[in-house]
Structure formats: C-alpha cells, structure tokens
Structure 1
Amino acid sequence: MSALSRTQHTRKHVIETAGGVVASQHRQAAEAGAAVLRAGGDAVDAAVATSFVVGVLEPWMSGPAGGGAAIHWRADTGEAVAINFGMRSPKGLNINDYPLSGDGKAGDLFPWERVVEDRNVEGATAIAVPGTVDGLGQAHARWGRMPWAELLAPAVSHAREGMLVDWYAALLIASTARNLAKDPDAAAMFLDDGTWPKGSGWTAIPDNRLDQSRVAASLAHMAEAGPRSFYEGDLAQAMAQDVQDKGGCLAAEDLAGYSAWMGAARPVDYRNARFHVMPGLTAGPTFARVMEQLETADLSTPAATYVAYARALDQAYAERLGKMGDDGEVPEAPGCTTHFSVVDRDGNMVTHTQTLLSIFGSRVVSPSTGFLMNNGIMWFDPEQGRPNSLAPNKACLMNVCPVLGERGDTRFAFGASGGRKIVSAVSQLASFVVDGEMDVEQAFHTPRIDMSGGAQIIADETLPTEVISALSDEKPTQTTRRTVSPYAFACPAGVMRKDGANSGCTEIMSPWGDAISEDDL
C-alpha cells in the first residue's frame, strides 16, 4: 500500500490572457520564451529560446545533442507544418559492433534483446546524429522575427550562471549516478567526488550549481555563427572527435549531412474537430488510429468513455508494435524527454517535443562542447530482420506526439514527455477538449489512464469506483497516484486559444513545470 498522503491535493492555477503563453516542463524556460513574446517575437522565436534554455536547465531530458519533432500553426495562412528533427544512426555504424549477449532483455526503456556491454544503451557507441538544432534553425529561418543570437542569449546566460541543483535535480541525478560515473566528463559535470549528486542537504537552501561554462561557450559560438555551426565547422569537428575518442562512430560528415524534414502535418478529422499530427516514424499515426476508433465509440458515461480509451489505445499500440517495429518499453523507466507549447498574440502556435531518449541520454558528455549526448541508437531493435532493426544511416522511430487541434473557435497545442505513455496522455487530453468540451485547466486536472501495449491498464486511483470496475472488467487494472516521480500518466504541457484569449497548463504534479504569459513578466 502506498505511503503517500491521502489529504494532499495539487492544482495549478490557469489564467486567460490576450498575451502570448508558453507552457514548459521548466518554469524558467517558459519565462525565457514569454520574454521573447513580450519583446515582439513570433511563437517560433519563443520556441527557439525555450528549447535552448530548457536544454541547459533540464539537461538530462534534452539539449542541442538530441532530437524530436514539432508542429507549427501559422494563423495568417492556416498552415499546419510538421518538422521532424529526429536522430539518425551514423553512416559508419557497423551492426557487428552490437552483438546480442544472450542475457535476456535490456534494462532501460525498451526490452530489446540485450547487447554485449549495453553498447546500444549507454556510452559513445549509443550516440546517434542529433537533429534538434537544425529543426529549430529551419523553423527560425522560415518564420522568425528576432535575431538568432538574441534568442540564444537567455540560454547562454543560464549556462554561465550554472543550473541550480535543488532537491528535484538532485533526485534525478542520484537516479543515474552510477552510470554517470563511468564517463569522466559526465561525472565532473553532475557528481561530487565521482559518486554523489551535486546538491544540498534536504533541510538546506540549495546553493550548488553545475559548471556549465563549456556549454555557455558552445552556445555563445552558435549564437554568433548560426544554427548550422552545430553541424559544420570547428564545434562540429570537435564534438565528433570527442565521440570517436570515446569509442563511438559519430563523424563530422554525419553532422554536416544532417537535415531535418519539413512538410505538411497529417490532418486527422474527428467528430466536429480536426487534429494535425506528425506523419512518418513518430507516434502521430498511432494517435490518429486511436481517434479513428474513438469516433464511433460509446462515450455516453464516464465508465464507457474510459473503457473506450483503453480499447482504442490497446488496439492502436498492437498495430504500432506489429507494423512500425517499436517493440515495447519498460513502464517503470524514468522520463527522458521534454515538451513545451507556445501561442503568441496573433494565434501562431508551436507544439514541440525534444529528447535525449534515455534520462541523461548516453551518459556521455562531449568535453569540447559541454553537451550531454543522446543515446538514439537504443531506439533501434538490435535484432536484424525487423522493421526497426539497427542499420547505418537510418532514421529512428520515435514515440513523440506533438498535436495541434481545432474545434470551432478553440485551438490547442498539446504534447507530452513519457515515452510510450505519451500517446495515452495526449489522446485523452484531446478527447477531453473535443468530447468533454473542457478548457485547458479542466483537461489537465482530469484523471487519465495509461494503456500503451502492456498487459494491464494503469488507472488514476481518483477515478470513480464505477470507472475502475468497468476497466477491471475489460482488462487487468492497476490503480496508482499521480506523483512527482515517476509520471505514471506521462508529463504533458499545452496551450489553448479561444475567442482570442490564450491560456496554458502543464502536468499538475511537475514541480518545475509552468505556463507563463508575456503579461506575467
């Protein structure tokens, strides 16, 4: 039985404003984006600033050396544009360097067959070609109003000061301290004496900061030289050499040849609404399949509605796992992704998810750049002959699911972190808005379930008894609380625009997440 308090209740206050709003898993990143909106920037400008700041202040989740996807809504043209900046395997990758160990399943996010020395999970051999910076750069080149250098300035400032290690940061660092200790540069950044997480005692005001001076220098260089300087030139050469010196195969040629994909988002009609999702090797098609099934489902009562959610998610994931090659994820694995959403005064929107994949990615820091590197190779199945099998120069299959929705005079931009839990969270939030006619505050405070291809349904224990009973009749059901760690129902963030007024909210249990309006500053 859980020892958690039965009398504690958590809520997040939501306001409506004519000003732009940024909802992020880190409050200071949201503030940086809101400041850009206040200065006259576009939603895209705010997204650039938010992305780089959250990479500094939540480095174990994402950063320049990761990947992801975003959808942009342009109010003047009515376009929904998708940008896939997912990671790729290096061209020089040799699948023979990843032999199966025969020791059963791997122990991180995906239960693939285990590889010798976990070479696909952590260390330099797990590093894929990053895409985040090019995705941001292409969006800024197309729609940005403010200079690139101004948008990176907040991240440079935060890196020079160093991220404050409070209790939450110390908890996350401690969760991976043994793995971080294997890389001297990661240990130097995140640990004391190569063992303990940097931080203060639990009764003390935190006064410890990470040394991110090398990150600051790299970001300052990128601010001056532009986004392609991450992929071409001295910084790119140094980063690739660092990875190769540690045994990886990322090459300067891989970086120079990287280009994010930009094109039309996939429209998904649903009842009296329309969603715009990511096409291709993302969770967008899975979201579309969930909504297709819900369209004809019985949603007349809460019990019927949640059973319909469970059935639709179960079927959609069965199809995903069979056709797209994503072969499962350990439910207890820690979160390792970040999501933020933006709406500006003109109604332009961005829903943006970025990740290192595992928490702390490969647990390898590039000493020349200061960047924590991804472990995108783990996204591939190490067994050959499958749709998602590991191979050189191949796109990774991602669980990211940024979604734009519109119903009448309401438009919203939602997304989440949480691996395979993402689709469960985002599809239910979308249904809450469309079917339940909820605003963003109601939607984010409404309990959810998770049904992401596993043997059982995970249900919020605050759901009514009749709902839990109906779910249990459908499939084995386990109840649990929404907590700070782990996030049993993913960690969403979203913004909404209705009748010209903007609002936003983040996962109510996230101690760092907040939605900030430009009018709040």
Structure 2
Amino acid sequence: MQRADVEKARRERWDRTKPAGVSAQGVVTAQHYSAADAGAKVLEEGGNAVDAAITAALTLQTVEPWMSGLGACGYMQVMQPNGDAQTIEFTGRLPAHLDMDVYAPADDGAVFFNGNAISKGGANVRGFTSVVVPGAVRGFATALAQFGTIGFDRAIRPARDAAAAGTVVDWHTTLAIGLGHGEMRADANMQAVFQPGGKIPAPGAVLRNPALAVTLARLHDAGPDDFYTGATAAALVADLQAAGSTITLDDMAAYEARVYPSVPFEFAGHTVFTPGDTSGGSRLRLALGRFAELFGTQGEVGPKFYADFATALKYAYSEEKRPLTATERDKDGSTTQINAVDADGRFATITFTLFNRFGAYAMSPATGILLNNGMAWYDPRPGRINSMVPMAYAHNNMCPVAIAGGGRSVAVLGASGGNMIVPALAQITAMHLVAGMDVADAVSHPRIDAGPAPVVTVNVDMTDAEIAAVAALGPVRAAQTEVMPRPFASPAMTGRRGDLFVGMPDTSYPPAAAAIVVSG
C-alpha cells in the first residue's frame, strides 16, 4: 500500500491530544469528564478505587445515556495493592420463560450485524422484547458490599443530582442523538426525552428525564435491592410485560452478580488478569500467548511488532482455537469504560453497556430507565454456543484487564468497541509490558485491528515500514483514529509512573477525561 493511498483515509485534519491524569493520591478515567470528576471527589473524601469507579459508572447515565445506565450489563475487576484480582460479572441474563414463537427467526433468514438470526419483527434486537435482565445495579451493589467503603446511596448521589438538574447537550450528544433519531421515534417516551418538540437538540439545550430522576432518588433512599425486589422492580416489570417481555419479578429477584477470582495469565514477567469465559478474556490470552511466542517479551514497537500482532490476533480468532460466538463479529456495540486507582494502589476497572447505541430504543415510562437490547447477544436458532436458553448469561466482547507484577498491582485497562476491544487491549498491554511504554504513550500509540475478518485495519499514523510489514501478510485497509466512525476501539488505562499513578483516557472520545486527586 502506497503512502498516497494511506493518506486518503485521513479525513479529520486536526491533531487530538489529551492530558494524562497524574497523582500520588488517585486517578479516575471515564468517557465523560463529569463522571471522572464525581469519582475523584469520592477519593478526596476518603473512599477507595472501587467506590470511585462505581460512582463514575452510575454518573455516566446522565451524560452519555446511549452507552450505559441502570439497564446495563458488564464486568468489573478489583485489584488489591498486593496484586490479587477479583471479577464481578454482571452480564445480561435471560428470563426463566421464553416464548420462542416470539423469537422465532424471521422467514427471510435475516441476520443481525453480529451474525445472530433476527427474530420475526425484530423482537430480539429492538423494543421491550429485546431486553434481558440487567445486572449493573446488583453488580455495583455487590462490589461495594465486598470491596468498597461507601454505601450505594453515596455512589448514586451524583447521578441523582445530575438527573434532577438535567443534561446539558454538547455537540457530541447532538451527534449521538442524531445517529439514533429515527429508531427512537418509535418510542414516545424516548422521543420526549431526547427529541423534545420532535427535534434533535442543539448544543446548549437541556434534556430532562423526570421519571429517571425519581427512580434515582428512590434508589438513593431505598437502596439497590429496590431495583430487583421493590417498587422500582414492580414498575419496571409492569412496563416490560405490558409491551411483550416475559421478564417477571421472580426473574429480577433471582438475578445474581457472580464474584470469582480473575483468570490469571503469565505474560512478560507479569500476571495479566481477565474475567471468565463469557468475556473476551480467552481471546486476549490466546493473542498475547501467540505474540510472545513470535516476538518475545522485550522489544520496541515497529514493523515486526505489528506483523507479529496481526498473526497473533488471526490465530486467537481462528475457529480451530475456539469457535466464534456471534458477538465476536460485532464492531457496533456501544460500551463505556471506567478505571480508577486510589492512594493505596488499589485498582478498579469497569466495562459495561446497553449493547447497541441507546440499547433497545425503548424506555420504561414509569421509571425512565433506558433498556438494553441484550437479547441480541443470543441466537434464536438452537444448537449454537449462544442459543437462547432460559436463565443463560450472555457471551460478549467486554474484557476489563488488570495487570500485577512483583507482588503488587501495576495497571488496569479496558475499552469500548465490540470485537475491536480485545485487539486493542492486547496491543496496549504489550506496548506497556514488552516495549516499556508509559501508560499515556501506550494508550495513544497507533494500533492495528485484526480478528475474524480477512482484512487487517492499519492506522494511517503508522510508518510506511510498519504498514508494509502487515500488508506482506495479507489484505489491509487504512483508517484514521477519528470521532465517527470508529475503526478502532476506544481504550483507557490507569497505571503507575514511578511513585505516582497515571490515568489516560481515549483521545478519540471528545468528553473522555482523567480526573486526579490533588495531595494536601
């Protein structure tokens, strides 16, 4: 590929940089600065990294509601100062009863972008029938109870206050709503909140969701169990069932977050931890293991680094090593990422999502909760890895990573971006541990994207020699890291820089930021 062809992919003609957050007292990164600030405030008050990360995660629903919220699902890792790591898995779960007549594949054989069959009338991809039991509230409550120091009321307070005040629209919010404006018009409650007066809001407008503000206030006062067994659960289930969902109060009450030791993998003199088999962890371990065999565990980023990673990622995503799930063909998930570290060196990392942008494009009118479309994680056809089975947890690409070494915690990282998540995290891990890059440099450095598709995506900011080394292995396409569309994942990382901690947000996500605790 000639440089002239590479440069044709450069559409945004400006440089994006972001400052890393550096502090001895703690750092929080999030995809919106207000969420990062809310987490850092908790650290300033004496809370730990778990408290800060969950506070930031709950706040995000008031500033990027198309990504996350009370209706979301995901994973969290908590790493203690000595390097021990635990996973809190709160991914989506199917109800105990499924009406397979509702979810039967469409007669035309249509498939979703991830390869799963689309049900008749799109029942598994849009609307109330596409909702799975959400795990975020129980996951966060479980993590706070086992690893945190504050109550759920303190963690949800910034979200409660922000919802009461309303969301001020910026240009990125206008873009997100504009991209989904057609789908959300099928839901009168969504349209009233996100398109008041039937128009896409311009920057400066204030969006209000009174029902969500009431729900957040109720959860603040009554506690997280109210979401699964109390007034919030009753109102949410009534809305779901009125619109065709089979989720019951028993399904809500039975939901459990799973807590277990994170899965360890030895790489470059460190232990890399991932969540379990429903996550992208197995692919990440395969990719890093093969890369170490090809490249070794020490060396600079250059042509051989990228070529060996292209080979390693193709190996990791081969059907021979592990059969692909439909989600591993998904580049369109809308996920969010939070990382935190406290003064003691305790780290926390959260990746969670509504699945698609704005999830199911359905809002519970009684609660104001934007609902996930997690049913699309499953295939209505029987006999598949991710077939619809009552009470099954979802497989997906999310993969928050924790790294330990030398008897202490080292770093955490994660990303949004569907099946681009694992390739990004594997490369950043190697850039940090193998090439010795600082956290900020590793997150910002150009990457490739490779997976089950035959074409490898190369970044226009790679050198000609680096691109040529990848192109020698097979077809490539050039792409620029840009705001929209996103040809690469959106990662963030928090780690150590000598005696200090450093957090780096994704540079392509406009409001993403690192917030620090100032000593003294």
Counterpart among 217, 221, 232 of residue 218 in structure 2: 221
Question: Which structure 2 residues correspond to residues 455-494 of structure 1 after superposition, within 5 A?
Answer: 455-494=454-493
1:496 and 1:247 mapped to 2: Cα distance?
Answer: 46
Which amino acid is the alignment partner of residue 188 of structure 1?
A: A
Q: Distance in 2 between matches of 1:445 and 1:188?
A: 38
What is the CA–CA distance in structure 2 between the aligned matches of 1:254 and 1:261, rounded to whole Å?
Answer: 16
**Counterpart for residue 304 of structure 1:** 304
CA contact (8 A) 2:337 2:492 kept: yes
The answer on whether the counterparts of 1:21 and 1:516 sit within 8 Å (CA) in structure 2 is yes
> Once the 2 structures are TM-superposed, how far is the Cα of residue 382 of structure 1 from its aligned partner?
2.2
Q: 1:410: Cα distance to partner? A: 6.9
Q: CA offsets, 1:369-398, max 9 Å, x none?
A: 111000110001222111111122111102
- 1:281 maps to 278
Unaligned stretches of 5+ in structure 2? Answer: 1-7
One-letter code of the match for 2:208? D
Cα distance change on mapping 1:395 and 1:330 into 2, 3 Å: closer
CA contact (8 A) 2:124 2:373 kept: yes
* C-alpha deviation, 1:453, in angstroms: 1.2
Q: Distance in 2 between matches of 1:306 and 1:485?
A: 24
Cα 1:403–1:320 shift into 2, 3 Å: farther
Give 1:122's match in structure 2, choosing from 113, 119, 126. Answer: 126
Task: Tell me by how many angstroms 1:5 deviates.
Answer: 4.3
**TM-score (norm. length: structure 2):** 0.94
Shift of 1:3: 6.8
Q: What's the counterpart of residue 163 of structure 2? A: 159
Q: 1:240 to 1:502 in 2, by over 3 A?
A: same
User: What is the TM-score with the length of structure 1 in the denominator?
Assistant: 0.94
Q: What is the rounded CA distance, in whole Å, between the counterparts of 1:320 and 1:136 in structure 2? A: 36
Instruction: Determine the C-alpha separation between the residues in 2 that align with 1:83 and 1:221.
Output: 24
- Correspondence for 1:142: 146
- Pair 1:187-2:194 in alignment: no
- Shift in CA distance, 2/297, structure 1 to aligned 2, threshold 3 Å: closer
Deviation string 1:70-112 (CA, Å, 9 cap, x unpaired) is: 110112x5420011100101112122211222434434x4122
Answering whether residue 421 of structure 2 is matched by residue 422 of structure 1, we say yes
Contact 2:314-2:452 within 8 A present in 1 as well: yes
Letter in 2 for 1:412: A
Number of corresponding residues: 509
SS at match of 1:84: strand
Distance 1:160 1:406 in 2: 40
Please state if 1:340 is matched with 2:346: no
Whether 1:69 and 2:68 are equivalent positions in the alignment is: no
How far apart are residue 320 of structure 1 and its match?
A: 8.6
1:406 and 2:404 matched: yes
**CA separation of 1:207/1:12 partners in 2, compared to 1, >3 Å: closer, same or farther?**
closer
Q: Give the letter aligned to residue 104 of structure 2.
A: P
Q: Supply the AA of the counterpart residue of 1:311.
A: T
Q: Deviations over 1:19-72 (max 9, x none)?
A: 210010111000000000001001111122111101221111011111000110
Counterparts of 1:343-382 in structure 2 under 5 Å? 343-382=341-380
Distance 1:173 1:463, change over 3 A: same
Q: Residues of 2 paired with 1:435 and 1:239: CA distance? A: 48
Give SS of 1:297's match: helix
Which position in structure 2 is the counterpart of 1:4?
A: 11
Once the two structures are TM-superposed, the CA of residue 146 in structure 1 deviates from its matched residue by: 2.2
From 92, 98, 103, the equivalent of 2:103 is: 98
SS of the aligned residue for 1:269 comes to strand
Cα distance in 2 for partners of 1:65, 1:318 equals: 33
- Is the contact between residue 111 and residue 328 of structure 1 (CA under 8 Å) also seen in structure 2? no
CA apart distance, 1:253 = 1.0
Verify the 8 A CA contact 2:295 2:304 in the aligned structure 1. Answer: yes
The answer to whether the Cα contact below 8 Å between 1:421 and 1:490 also exists between their aligned partners in 2 is yes
Worse-matched range after superposition: 235-244 or 381-390 = 381-390
SS at match of 2:386: coil
CA drift at 1:485? 1.2
Partner-residue secondary structure (3-state), 1:306? helix
* Corresponding residue number in structure 2 for 1:203: none
The residue type paired with residue 11 of structure 2 is L
When residues 15 and 361 of structure 1 are mapped into structure 2, their CA distance, relative to the original with a 3 A threshold, is closer
Matched, 1:502 2:506: no
Q: 1:154 to 1:435 in 2, by over 3 A?
A: same
Question: 442-451 vs 98-107, which deviates more?
Answer: 98-107
Matched, 1:392 2:398: no
Query: How well do the aligned residues superpose, as a CA RMSD in angstroms?
Result: 1.8
1:89 to 72, 86, 94: 94
Does residue 323 of structure 1 match 2:330? no
State whether residues 163 and 209 of structure 1, in contact with CA within 8 Å, keep that contact through their aligned partners in structure 2: yes
Question: For residues 321 and 383 of structure 1, what CA distance do their matches in structure 2 show?
Answer: 23
- The answer to whether the Cα contact below 8 Å between 2:10 and 2:479 also exists between their aligned partners in 1 is no
Give the match's secondary structure for 2:493: strand
Identity in percent: 31
Q: Secondary structure at the match of 1:16?
A: strand
Q: Unmatched 5+ residue regions in structure 1?
A: 201-205
